[in-house]
Structure 1
Amino acid sequence: MAPSNWRTYLVTQASLSAGRSTAEIAREAIAGGVDAIQLREKDTDARTRYELGRELREMTADAGVDLVVNDRLDIAQAIDADGVHVGQSDLPVAVARDLLGPDAIVGCSTSTVAEARQAEADGADYLGVGSVYGTTSKRVAEHKDGIGPERVAEITDAVSIPVVGIGGITDDNAGPVADAGAIGVAVISEITAADDPQAATQALSAALEAPTQSPSNTEGQP
């Protein structure tokens, strides 16, 4: 599956799973129709991430779900992941592309038009844009107040590669992110912390498909 077909994207974080394993959360998300999973787990050592990655690779391959690894190109290669996702302080996109080759998926976190254009020029296949809304996740803590769907729209207008919104996204506020031009949304706690991760994934997908009504086009309605 190509990033252009992603709608729901799970970023793993065991500390938010209410005692459940990351593999269990991933399995439930897959059952709910998730399109991509990013192995993050930065609080664990490389060996633990590798072993978890092998387990996730097996289940995602069977389900036709893309698996990318946050930052660690070596783990991505070792588990035969579909690619990697890098941030502004990680290895450059161009380096990841050179090391992984033309067929790997390489994603990059951006929050400005300039970063987005540079990532595209360097060979990124998609962008993770955010934090869209306020968030307490360490992954996007540099934008706790959120850049808003308006910035997402600016970035989608500036690049030709797919944009995935991330940061504080729920089934209640995902619609405006899709309306801004994002092909999908990436979430951590919305699925990981949910009582029913499968149902949460399905609700998120449904929210992305539902049209968002602005005040202007609801005037005159009962």
Structure 2
Amino acid sequence: MPAILPGQTDIYALTDSRLSLGRPLAVVAGALLDAGVRILQYREKHFKAGKMLEECRLLRRLTEKAGACFIVNDHIDIAMLVGADGVHIGQEDLPVPEVRRLVGPDMLIGLSTHSPEQAVAAVNAGADYIGVGPIFATRTKEDVVDPVGYGYLDWVARNIDLPFVAIGGIKAHNIAEVAGHGARCCALVSELVGARDIPARVEAVRTAMREGLDR
């Protein structure tokens, strides 16, 4: 089954064990997938490689069963070992063409971008999709850049044909406005994994996003 791209689904969920209210990864991921989330990225910045490999193998099994797309953040080796659908990298990671040499033609490569120049470079380098943000200030990453606001999001929606996902501080209360600026797929971390009732929060986010898209 072809991997699902941003734009083909609305919610792009990221893991974060520190925000998951002490619940095991299997519980959190299972709730997200059962609620209809179809892109799940594994992003854990504080684990050793062995634990990340174990958890990614678990997520690969869960996402395959759910028919969802599984993305690994940064760790190209782990993405390859578990047969992930894609890997997501940042501006300071290996260049996209070098990542492509490693992962082959079929694995998705997502690249975080923060400016029009970076978006154009991502297209030219052969990225499959780009991250656009951070839209708002966020504390889920320690090395985060300054918020780009709606200006960059508007520019990408008008000028870039590549699939993209908006990310950074997006919550149920502001996702309608983000969608109204052209984001058909939004990435969320704490808003989803930190919710006590994950399915209810996914539905609330979806409803708000649809309202923004219909404006």
TM class by smaller structure: over 0.9
Correspondence for 1:161: 162
Tell me, yes or no, if the aligned pair for 1:166 and 1:185 is still in contact at 8 Å.
yes
Please, which moves more after superposition, 159-168 or 177-186? 177-186
Tell me: CA distance 1:212–1:78, structure 2 relative to 1, closer, same or farther (3 Å). Answer: closer
Correspondence for 1:220: none
Q: State the alpha-carbon separation in 2 of the partners of residues 139 and 86 from structure 1.
A: 15
Please tell me whether residue 198 in structure 1 is matched to residue 195 in structure 2.
no
Aligned residues: 212
Q: State the alpha-carbon separation in 1 of the partners of residues 176 and 98 from structure 2.
A: 34
Structure 1 vs Structure 2 CA RMSD = 1.6
SS at match of 1:182: coil
Q: 1:75 offset after TM fit, Å? A: 0.3
Q: State the alpha-carbon separation in 1 of the partners of residues 212 and 180 from structure 2.
A: 8
Identity within the alignment, %: 37
Q: State the alpha-carbon separation in 2 of the partners of residues 91 and 202 from structure 1.
A: 36
Tell me, yes or no, if the aligned pair for 1:86 and 1:108 is still in contact at 8 Å.
yes
Tell me, yes or no, if the aligned pair for 1:150 and 1:180 is still in contact at 8 Å.
no
Q: What are the residue-to-residue correspondences of 1:2-13 with 2, within 5 Å?
A: 2-3=4-5, 4-13=7-16
Tell me, yes or no, if the aligned pair for 2:179 and 2:213 is still in contact at 8 Å.
no
Tell me: CA distance 1:213–1:160, structure 2 relative to 1, closer, same or farther (3 Å). Answer: closer
Correspondence for 1:23: 26
Point out 4+ residue stretches in structure 1 off by more than 6 angstroms: none
Tell me: CA distance 1:139–1:117, structure 2 relative to 1, closer, same or farther (3 Å). Answer: farther
Structure of larger gyration radius: 1
Tell me: CA distance 1:29–1:140, structure 2 relative to 1, closer, same or farther (3 Å). Answer: farther
TM-score for both structures, normalised by structure 2: 0.93
| 1:53 equivalent among 49, 56, 66 | 56
Q: What are the residue-to-residue correspondences of 1:53-132 with 2, within 5 Å?
A: 53-132=56-135
Please, which moves more after superposition, 71-80 or 192-201? 192-201
Give, as a single letter, the amino acid of the residue that structure 1 aligns with 2:33. I
SS at match of 1:106: strand
Give, as a single letter, the amino acid of the residue that structure 1 aligns with 2:210. E
Q: State the alpha-carbon separation in 2 of the partners of residues 86 and 205 from structure 1.
A: 26
| 2:139 equivalent among 127, 136, 151 | 136
Please, which moves more after superposition, 110-119 or 90-99? 90-99
Give, as a single letter, the amino acid of the residue that structure 1 aligns with 2:28. I
Tell me, yes or no, if the aligned pair for 2:184 and 2:213 is still in contact at 8 Å.
no
Q: Which structure 2 residue ranges, 5 or more long, are not aligned? A: none
Give, as a single letter, the amino acid of the residue that structure 1 aligns with 2:26. A
Tell me, yes or no, if the aligned pair for 1:30 and 1:198 is still in contact at 8 Å.
no
Give, as a single letter, the amino acid of the residue that structure 2 aligns with 1:187. L
